[in-house]
A and B are shown apart, each in its own frame.
Chain A
Amino acid sequence: MKKIISYIAIAMAVLPACKKGLDFTNTNAINPANVWTDSSTIQAFLSDIYGGLMPGWPLGQGNNSDEGINSQKSMGNYQLGIISAAGNYVNLSYTYIDKCNFFLDQLAAVSANVLSPATKAQFTGEAKFWRAWTYWSMVSQLGGVPLILHTQNATDVASLKVPRNKTSECITQIVQDLDSAALLLPGSYTGTSYGRITSVAALGLKGRILLWYASPLFNPSNDPSRWQTAFNATKAAVDAANANGYGLLPNYRAIWYSGNMEEIMVNQYYYPDHYMNFAPIRPLPYTNGAANNDQPLEPLLMAYPKRDGSPMQLDLTQLSNPAYNAQFTNDFYTNRDDRFYATIFCGGTPYPTPDVLPGQPAKCVYWAAFQWTSASGINFTLPVPGGYSNIDVPVENGDDNGLVGFYERKGLDTTLTGQQIVSVAAGAKSWWSPMRYAELLMNYAECANETGSPSEALNVLYKIRARANITPGASGTYGITAASQADIRAAIMNERMVEFAFEGFRFNDLRRWKRYDILNSEGARHGLLPMLIYGAPLPSTTDNIMTASVRANFSMVYVDNLDGDANFRFNLDLSHWFYPLNPAQISLESSVLQQNNEWGGTFDPLQ
């Protein structure tokens, strides 16, 4: 027995010694000590922020408003007026605020022998810009949010509870960051730094934000001082841009095909590291995966002026008159400004990529158009369910699910085929600009009009239209007849819709102006269809709708409701302009987070 006990005792005695030997190394992470003593890892931390925040092409978002339609019945609940706090909320998202704060705090302590003062200043400016950008992305949707400007202390849980700041306080802070960034940042970059945030971008963002803050959404009482502040900021942005060599690129279509003077901010897509996939906006036979998003709706198709700047008009009652229709069709296809052709692909022309469709010997015209299925259609009693069908020459299957015969093509990489766009062996090049010089100009014009400088506003519109190759006309007004403040305002609204089509502006502008009524008055989503006249021969794959004799076989038809269902009509709620904060986030900290007053809460986003 004693022996047993002694064995146990020996075993117990060696036990503590054997507690060692479990210290393994984590081979999948970087040791914290190595990060803030090395300029390249410091820059890498900033690169992560860029990578997470730089916006990309907003393909498919035309479906939110009257720009485009992705597919039938794709109208969102919000657009249908089906809204609820549980379904339409916006989240507070502090991921990048925290990263910016942490970066700024760490950067302050980095010594000069690690990072030169100039580089440190630039990095600080960039981080402040992105912090302002992130705050604005929340404030624009929710109004004031909790302002947090330094690294939060996770071990002091009580300190993490921060109440919502007033909207005005947030705007002040955002502007302060942008002012600071503008002072710290260079006006442009060359070489390997091209594409980083500049002082012009900081001033441009400040102008954009102050324009919003002066607009009806935030400024329903139309406080003129806000417009004045916005005017100063937007003017400063334009001046800074001019001083640093930015301007309107003479060729509108070319904006998205190189890094150029138009792009104040740029997200460069290239193969193989970061390529763009344009599949969503390609027509079905030319794509791979997604297809047919952002098919232009009638309001957008009509918004582009004629070559002489006069508005394109459509009298529905006259459409059944063959002579009127022929003239309209003629103007529609051949007499438009450059932006129309740069933004919209018309069925009946060759699709601007090298694709050769199955069964075709070579590149051919893609006839995304329609034909009557019975003679009754001649009477133009629309809608005629089942009364017409796609012709889609030369696609044999007769159905590409295209709704209107028009597609978005802005920025499309025209060198790739549908096979190549999603295969790993290709991928589109593109220069997406989340902020371009034309916007700075248009922001300035809007503020000028609201602060009693109509001529400055009109001058901007002339410049924008001149670049689109609209003829100045004898009066030099590029077809603009507006003179009163209200008319100029309307002209600016239309010009923004055209100039920035499918760039993510339209829906947000309507919200900023509190003009959902424009959509509601449109009712359903309207379409224009190029329709083969009953009895006319099918076009061949070498015919082109731009040819008068071919076009003569077609007439334009108006479809009141492309969704094919009377329930699908714009019916946006006109009493809710700010979004609700996610109820699930409020319940996390209901003691300090208030819901917006439009959604049953106590927070007033207008303060």
Chain B
Amino acid sequence: MRKVFYRHPIRLGKACLTMLQGVSFLLLFLCTSAVAMPRPVRGRVLDADGRPLEGATIQVKGTSLGAKTDKDGSFAMNVPDNAKTLVISYVGMETQEVDAKGRSEVTIVLKTAVAQEQDVVVVGYVTQKKSLLTGSVVDMKVNESDREVPTASAGNLLAGRLSGVNVVTPSGPPGEVTPAITIRTATSWNGQPVLYVIDGKISAAADFNNLSPNEIASVSVLKDAATTAAYGSRAAGGVVVVTTRMGKTGKARVTYSFNSGYDVRGKNMALTDAIETGKLANQVNNGGANPAGPAYTQQDFDYFATHNFNNAGAGYGFNQLKIIYRNPFTATQNLGVEGGNDRIRYYVGGSYVNQQGFMNGLTYNKYNLRANITADVTKDFQLFFGGALNNNLTNSPNWNGGGLSGQVYDLYQKLLVWQPYMPVFTNSGMPVDYGWIANMGAVTQGQGGYQRDNYLKPVFTLSGTYKAPFLKGLSAKATYIKSYTYDANKVFTTTYAMYTVKQYTPYIWGLSDTSVVGTRQSTGTPGLAETATWGGDKQLDLQLNYERSFGLHHVMGTLVYEGYQTQGTGLNASVNGFPLYTTDQWWATSPNQNSTTSSGGVIPNKNVSNSTAYSDITTGRKSWVGQFFYDYADKYLAGFTYRYDGSMNFAPNERWGFFPSGSLGWILSKEHFMEKVRSIDLLKVRASMGLTGNDNVGGWQWQQSYVTGNNAFFGTSPSLNAGLTYGPVVNPNLTWEKSLNQNFAVDVNFMKHFSATVEYWHTYTYDILGQRVQTTPPTFSLTLPSVNYGKEKASGIDFSLGYTRRFGKVDFSTGVVASYGHARYVLRDQNVTYDYQNQVGGGRTTTMLTGYVVDHMIRNQTDLSSWNAANPNYNFNGNKADLGQFVYQDLGSQGGVHQKDGKIDPYDIAVLRKNNDPIVVGWNLTGEWKGFSLSATFNGNFHRWNAVNISGSGVEWNRMWRTWYTDSWNTTNTNAKYPRYYGAEVGNSVNMAGSNFWYAPSNFIRLKFLNIGYTIPPRFYKNYLSAIKVFASGSNLFILSKYNQQFYDPEMSGGTAFPIIKSYNMGVLVSL
């Protein structure tokens, strides 16, 4: 087998070859180029250091003829007499073309490819040359500028970069809210979570977001079944495969970077100031007729107009949020060392992120450490050790016996709209009792105690690969991955005095010490509480690989056994009271089991939770995976992948499932007939089909059980009688949802600088788990178990276009990605009481929007009279038409039949939009010139409406949506754009009913990341360092959106929600 000639293909490949060629003939009557008279050519392929390259491919351009080099780098082959050009390629090297006209001997020296990693992609359990891909994979290499963007969540890096991958910008405090990542369009109403695989370990979304960008080498996103079937029953939502940095052969390279910056909150919707709030409240409350909420008087308005509290501006009143707000701040330090020789390669790195949240006491510290060491222990045996550690420390002040973290969303909103007349502190800084359970000023000073969370997760990987010396191309690999998770949460609660101040009017409160009339203690019981959960998982992978070329035939295959087990347990305990000395340590807490209340009741001071959340839990899975790939002359490609999956989520006889996939590809540009098309550098078509599953349904639904129920209280000295009741009706046949996915794609590189990919995909999901709605009447109270019956289909298009070019000394590249998909229900039980509830058929997608349709607004008495005369029966769910109100269209559809009855009720709700799926776009830009670098990422959404959500300020004693004041109907502004605001006590059931009026297009384009860097010329420091780079970066710097101008950022959940954070960042990167 030293030399392999194309005329002697071995048997294994022959069948496939014949089949493939047959297909090719049928498609395009070709592959007949080898008819010309052959002549011999021989030569050698070497690397830049003169070492021979084994396995390099030599191909006659425009034909399927080719050969591979042997271990001396030599090859010999016969080429057609008229052959002009040979194409020589090798993984990791730049492909070269040499003139072959009249030559019989050539020596080729290949250069190392600049972006070496670009050429291979992780596809499940194997790595594949990108050019040989038949499945749908998008990938990105994480480079230095990605590591410099201000984000603590790895997920943010993917935004706008990869077609078919949608990353929603989190609206929430960094470190607490992580970006939501979805791949293509979900095809199950149960949700199909994305599966994360980090260096071979099946992981959760949190594990991915907890990675530091510093330790990531590349991210592959597997989108179609050809690639995801390797993950079988958990792959229906797509798979994100992360590879961490493994180290490169060569001199040790040490990099250190420091960057720091501050965050600015984005825009909330406009809110009323104190005077506007008062005027609106008076208007809503009928002039504030006492004893309603007292009216604001001119005295109150004058007071606010002439006072500027805490620089909020005259007239604004007290800005509770601003008084305790600080701009968040982030500092990141990354250190990495990588290097190696021909025996050992290593990467050791660490990063530390320190974030200060928007209030005092709110901090987030994230530590990441990683050591990846690969050693070639013997010629045939390679050992890998990976150690990774993630530690997140979250601190927050305490209010009402709990930490702020997790409630920051609500709290932000609460403070934003807080009654504008209520001060936080007196002039001398004492917390004011503003009639609430706490004073937020005191809380942020830590007077209420704190909550601390410590999350620690080490992951260790040990793996050995043995290359079988007795069979070339065969290797075996065993990997054992063990992780430990520890999460401890400690809450320390103290109470403090709040000072009641004199109120000169209901809205003018005293601020001086002399106006203090009393004190009140904040709510909560002093004490300590601690929750700790710990657990871990272990994964064992046994893998057999085979890869070999036989002439132009190239086969690669792997067989894997994977076993996975996870376990966990925990404890939650608390003690109330500090009898002598208040400190955050257990020894100081009350030694008594119970204490007696003033009413004679007995309080247990000590409590241990009996929640099932702290039970010992063990679960596990087992799987068998196979992946096989074949290509002929790098031109005809085929792949087959399966996973045989066992999951404890199902009953023993439903536990195992088989998920196969197959794919084909054809690189047309390597065909003879394409040679003349000069502008096309690469043209490839590929198609795949396969089955994946979704087992994201809770465990034990198949097993009968009894659970704790309501308690009863009996006895002349009453005591608790614990209750017990039956669990849900079980479904012993519960199984996974299955998705049959097809993917068709064209990749084209053209005009030297452009590359484009268009993919069309279609997924049919069946056995979707759900309730059979129609089968249970309301007289049967038990919920019938969910059964696997539903069907959905979805399709979509992913598109990407790239352009890379060097203009003189400028390296420039840019890319656009866009994707769109929609899903429809094929079979879904529904209880259609009203026609609009029907989600199936009629072109309706899973994202359809429904609502009433506004006819017009009744602006004056004439309008009202004529409307009532024309529509004598009109009412909206019982409400007659009134001034300043919408009247709605009487669409009256019942069973598809229009029945106008003059009344507006749920029968009149219409489908406002059948399809509200967004077109997700991204645009990237990178450029380099003489040490200057720039990279920018934009992302955006089009073709989508949002429901306008202004309800966060829905009570008129708070700050309101300012438009209610400026542009809503009242007797003096009957031409307003918005209808009458009625006040919280009455409610606004007519005007605020979900209708087309309250939807608006939410298209946007956001500058997600921007990074500008400059590498200081090495001549100043080359004796000491190899590079110094300074950079400035930012995230979410601006958004272009009409919706944003009119209401608020369209990626926020509502107008008063925690806003999108803009970050400004500066840093320096030093390389040794």
Cβ of B34 under 8 Å from chain A: no
> Given the complex of chains A and B, what is the CA–CA distance between A288 and B433 in angstroms?
13
> Given the complex of chains A and B, what is the CA–CA distance between A15 and B645 in angstroms?
11
Binary contact readout A78-110 vs B (1 if CB under 8 angstroms, 0 otherwise):
000111111100011111111100100000000
Contacts of A536 in B (CB 8 A): none
Residue of A nearest to B437 (CB): A288
Residue of B nearest to A399 (CB): B506
Are B615 and A27 in contact, with the CB atoms below 8 A? yes
Are A416 and B598 in contact, with the CB atoms below 8 A? yes
Contacts of A73 in B (CB 8 A): 983, 985-986
Residue with the highest number of chain B CB atoms closer than 10 Å, among A268, A269, A354: A268
Cβ of A11 under 8 Å from chain B: yes
Are A97 and B711 in contact, with the CB atoms below 8 A? no
Q: Interface on chain A toward B: helix, strand, loop, or mixed SS?
A: loop
Known: A73-B983, A271-B597, A426-B599. A30 touches B715 (CB 8 A): no
Question: Could you tell me the distance in whole angstroms from the C-beta of A296 to the nearest C-beta in chain B?
Answer: 15
> Given the complex of chains A and B, what is the CA–CA distance between A195 and B622 in angstroms?
53
Are B877 and A87 in contact, with the CB atoms below 8 A? yes
Q: Which of B291, B470, B622 contacts A390 (CB 8 A)?
A: B291
Residue with the highest number of chain B CB atoms closer than 10 Å, among A52, A195, A423: A423
Contacts of B595 in A (CB 8 A): 425
Contacts of B563 in A (CB 8 A): 21
Are B599 and A154 in contact, with the CB atoms below 8 A? no
Are A429 and B775 in contact, with the CB atoms below 8 A? no
Are A30 and B599 in contact, with the CB atoms below 8 A? no
Q: Which of B523, B777, B782, B877 contacts A588 (CB 8 A)?
A: B777
The residues in B between 405 and 448 inclusive whose CB is less than 8 angstroms from any CB of A are: 433, 435, 437
Known: A22-B621, A160-B780. A41 touches B718 (CB 8 A): no
Known: A51-B712, A77-B878. A396 touches B723 (CB 8 A): no
Contacts of A39 in B (CB 8 A): none
Q: Which of B474, B600, B878, B986 contacts A4 (CB 8 A)?
A: B474
Question: Could you tell me the distance in whole angstroms from the C-beta of A164 to the nearest C-beta in chain B?
Answer: 9
Residue of B nearest to A427 (CB): B601
Residue of B nearest to A573 (CB): B878
Are B781 and A18 in contact, with the CB atoms below 8 A? no
Contacts of B729 in A (CB 8 A): 154
Cβ of A192 under 8 Å from chain B: yes
Question: Could you tell me the distance in whole angstroms from the C-beta of A146 to the nearest C-beta in chain B?
Answer: 5
Question: Could you tell me the distance in whole angstroms from the C-beta of A96 to the nearest C-beta in chain B?
Answer: 8
Cβ of B879 under 8 Å from chain A: yes
Are A84 and B718 in contact, with the CB atoms below 8 A? no
Cβ of B620 under 8 Å from chain A: yes
Q: Which of B501, B502, B520, B706 contacts A35 (CB 8 A)?
A: B706
Are A47 and B290 in contact, with the CB atoms below 8 A? no
Contacts of A305 in B (CB 8 A): none
Known: A73-B986, A588-B773. A358 touches B517 (CB 8 A): yes
Cβ of B972 under 8 Å from chain A: no
Are A425 and B620 in contact, with the CB atoms below 8 A? no
Contacts of A422 in B (CB 8 A): 523
Contacts of B779 in A (CB 8 A): 92, 94, 145-146, 148, 160, 162, 589
Are A84 and B905 in contact, with the CB atoms below 8 A? yes
Known: A92-B779, A94-B778. A4 touches B289 (CB 8 A): no
Known: A196-B714, A358-B433, A389-B291. A420 touches B723 (CB 8 A): no
Are A565 and B831 in contact, with the CB atoms below 8 A? no
The residues in A between 252 and 287 inclusive whose CB is less than 8 angstroms from any CB of B are: 259, 267-275
Question: Could you tell me the distance in whole angstroms from the C-beta of B890 to the nearest C-beta in chain A?
Answer: 15
Cβ of B157 under 8 Å from chain A: no
Contacts of A146 in B (CB 8 A): 779
> Given the complex of chains A and B, what is the CA–CA distance between A415 and B656 in angstroms?
63
Are B778 and A91 in contact, with the CB atoms below 8 A? yes
Cβ of A72 under 8 Å from chain B: yes
Q: How large is the interface on A (under 10, 10 to 19, 20 to 34, 35 or more residues)?
A: 35 or more
Contacts of B726 in A (CB 8 A): 99, 102
Question: Could you tell me the distance in whole angstroms from the C-beta of A451 to the nearest C-beta in chain B?
Answer: 36
Cβ of A470 under 8 Å from chain B: no
> Given the complex of chains A and B, what is the CA–CA distance between A311 and B358 in angstroms?
63
Q: Which of B523, B622, B655, B777 contacts A423 (CB 8 A)?
A: B523
Cβ of B750 under 8 Å from chain A: no
Q: How large is the interface on B (under 10, 10 to 19, 20 to 34, 35 or more residues)?
A: 35 or more
Binary contact readout B523-548 vs A (1 if CB under 8 angstroms, 0 otherwise):
11100000000000000000010100
Cβ of B971 under 8 Å from chain A: no
Question: Could you tell me the distance in whole angstroms from the C-beta of A137 to the nearest C-beta in chain B?
Answer: 14
Known: A161-B777, A271-B601. A29 touches B289 (CB 8 A): no
Q: Which of A97, A398, A592 contacts B503 (CB 8 A)?
A: A398
Q: Which of B620, B652, B778 contacts A589 (CB 8 A)?
A: B778
Q: Which of A19, A35, A360, A403 contacts B656 (CB 8 A)?
A: A19
Question: Could you tell me the distance in whole angstroms from the C-beta of A467 to the nearest C-beta in chain B?
Answer: 24
Are B286 and A564 in contact, with the CB atoms below 8 A? yes
Cβ of A490 under 8 Å from chain B: no
Binary contact readout B283-307 vs A (1 if CB under 8 angstroms, 0 otherwise):
0011111111111000000000000
Binary contact readout B733-748 vs A (1 if CB under 8 angstroms, 0 otherwise):
0000000000000000
Question: Could you tell me the distance in whole angstroms from the C-beta of A583 to the nearest C-beta in chain B?
Answer: 5
> Given the complex of chains A and B, what is the CA–CA distance between A418 and B346 in angstroms?
65
Residue with the highest number of chain A CB atoms closer than 10 Å, among B291, B710, B778: B291
Contacts of B18 in A (CB 8 A): none
Q: Which of B288, B294, B524, B699 contacts A26 (CB 8 A)?
A: B699
> Given the complex of chains A and B, what is the CA–CA distance between A96 and B710 in angstroms?
12
Are A386 and B287 in contact, with the CB atoms below 8 A? yes
Contacts of A552 in B (CB 8 A): none
Q: Which of A48, A91, A272, A273 contacts B709 (CB 8 A)?
A: A48
Residue of B nearest to A565 (CB): B286
Contacts of B781 in A (CB 8 A): 93-99
Contacts of A24 in B (CB 8 A): 618-620, 648
Question: Could you tell me the distance in whole angstroms from the C-beta of B760 to the nearest C-beta in chain A?
Answer: 35
Cβ of B644 under 8 Å from chain A: yes
Cβ of B500 under 8 Å from chain A: yes
Cβ of B1045 under 8 Å from chain A: no
Q: Which of A1, A32, A389 contacts B294 (CB 8 A)?
A: A389
Question: Could you tell me the distance in whole angstroms from the C-beta of B625 to the nearest C-beta in chain A?
Answer: 11
Contacts of A417 in B (CB 8 A): 598
> Given the complex of chains A and B, what is the CA–CA distance between A86 and B295 in angstroms?
36
Known: A99-B725, A274-B720. A386 touches B706 (CB 8 A): no
Contacts of A50 in B (CB 8 A): 710, 712, 721, 723
Cβ of A44 under 8 Å from chain B: yes
Cβ of A315 under 8 Å from chain B: no
> Given the complex of chains A and B, what is the CA–CA distance between A368 and B503 in angstroms?
17
> Given the complex of chains A and B, what is the CA–CA distance between A49 and B501 in angstroms?
49
17 residue pairs bridging A and B, Cβ less than 8 Å apart: A21-B563, A41-B724, A47-B721, A71-B985, A82-B875, A92-B779, A162-B779, A195-B715, A358-B433, A387-B290, A398-B505, A583-B834, A585-B777, A587-B832, A588-B773, A588-B774, A588-B831
Q: Which residues of B line the A interface, CB within 8 A?
A: 12, 285-295, 401, 433, 435, 437, 470-471, 474, 500-503, 505-506, 517-521, 523-525, 544, 546, 559, 561, 563, 576, 595, 597-604, 612, 615-622, 624, 644, 646-648, 652, 655-656, 699-700, 703-707, 709-716, 718-727, 729, 773-782, 784, 831-834, 875, 877-879, 905-906, 983, 985-986
Instruction: Sort A-B residue pairs by CB-CB distance and give the 10 closest, nearest first.
Output: A358-B518, A51-B710, A48-B709, A29-B705, A48-B723, A271-B601, A359-B518, A82-B878, A50-B712, A589-B777
Other than A385-B286, A397-B435, give 13 A-B pairs with Cβ distance below 8 A: A19-B646, A22-B622, A24-B648, A29-B703, A45-B709, A49-B723, A86-B905, A94-B781, A160-B777, A271-B603, A272-B602, A273-B711, A273-B713
Q: Which residues of A line the B interface, CB within 8 A?
A: 1, 3-4, 7-8, 11, 15, 18-19, 21-32, 35, 41, 43-52, 54, 71-74, 77, 81-87, 91-99, 102, 145-146, 148, 152, 154, 157, 160-162, 190-196, 259, 267-275, 288, 354, 357-360, 370, 373, 383, 385-390, 396-399, 401-403, 413, 415-417, 419-420, 422-429, 562, 564-565, 582-589, 592-593
